[in-house]
């Protein structure tokens, strides 16, 4: 086996909503990942204050920002699962990235990053992913390219009550992406 025997991946969700299908997908990832990939959820980004340079200069980095930066830094790779808001990245996710972009020893620099999105629409969050790729390029991340996961028509792919991902084709495709991402992480760490 090439690369590390066990890959520790941190998963970050761009939605705060309790019934978020993006968060439901993130919770499903450990079941779909290769055996050698461990996926844990990143610290919550919901309590990170809006970025303000004055706040940073007066108080330093909030504990939530430091926790997120530390989790990303310690991981072998990051998976970001996020909805699309107004054709772009949700404000809460962009805000978290804006804060983390300012910490020393930039945690996303040369970090393998995989993107996924879920949407009730047919495009599955594609525009958000394209915008998020631009942000990640600025941070120096190594963004995984293919296969891409855009879960469109999500209302028919998740159980309405449990939010479990029930669509077998989607489960297989996400699993395929996770396997390819593991190989990508291996190549970058070689």
Instruction: Classify residue 23: in a domain, yes or no.
Output: yes
Question: With bands split at pLDDT 50, 70 and 90, how would you rate the model's confidence at 2?
Answer: low
Does any domain span residue 68?
A: yes
* pTM for this entry: 0.96
CATH number at residue 117: 3.40.50.360
Q: Is the pLDDT of residue 182 over 50?
A: yes
pLDDT digit string, tens, across residues 12-65: 999 999 999 999 999 999 999 999 999 999 999 999 999 999 999 999 999 999
Burial of 162 (0-12, 13-18, 19+ CB in 10 A): exposed
Query: Is 98 part of any domain?
Result: yes
The token duo for 86 is 């107004």
pLDDT number for residue 1: 43
Instruction: Please state the domain count of the chain.
Output: 1
Residue 106 lies in a domain: yes
How confident is the model over 83-104, as pLDDT tens digits?
999 999 999 999 999 999 999 9
For residue 148, the enclosing domain spans 7-189
- 1 falls within a domain: no
pLDDT in tens, 120-159: 988 889 999 999 999 999 999 999 999 999 999 999 999 9
Residue ranges with strand state E in 42-156: 77-81, 112-118, 142-143, 149-151
> Is residue 2 a part of any domain in this protein?
no
Cβ proximity of 177 and 149 under 8 Å: yes
Mean pLDDT taken over the chain: 96
């Amino acid at each position: 086996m090439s690369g590390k025997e066990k890959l520790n991946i941190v998963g970050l969700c761009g939605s705060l909503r309790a019934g978020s299908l993006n968060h439901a997908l993130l919770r499903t990832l450990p079941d779909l990942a290769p055996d050698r990939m461990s996926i844990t959820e990143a610290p919550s980004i919901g309590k990170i204050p809006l970025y303000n340079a004055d706040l940073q200069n007066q108080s330093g980095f909030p504990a939530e920002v430091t926790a997120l930066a530390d989790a990303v830094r310690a991981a072998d790779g990051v998976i970001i699962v996020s909805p699309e808001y107004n054709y772009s990245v949700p404000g809460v996710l962009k805000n978290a990235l804006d804060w983390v972009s300012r910490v020393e020893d930039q945690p996303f620099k040369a970090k393998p990053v995989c993107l996924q999105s879920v949407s009730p629409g047919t495009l599955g969050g594609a525009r958000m992913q394209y915008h998020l790729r631009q942000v990640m390029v600025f941070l120096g991340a190594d963004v995984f390219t293919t296969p891409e996961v855009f879960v469109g028509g999500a209302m028919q792919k998740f159980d309405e009550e449990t939010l479990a991902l029930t669509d077998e084709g989607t489960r297989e495709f996400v699993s395929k992406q996770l396997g390819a991402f593991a190989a990508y992480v291996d190549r970058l760490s070689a």
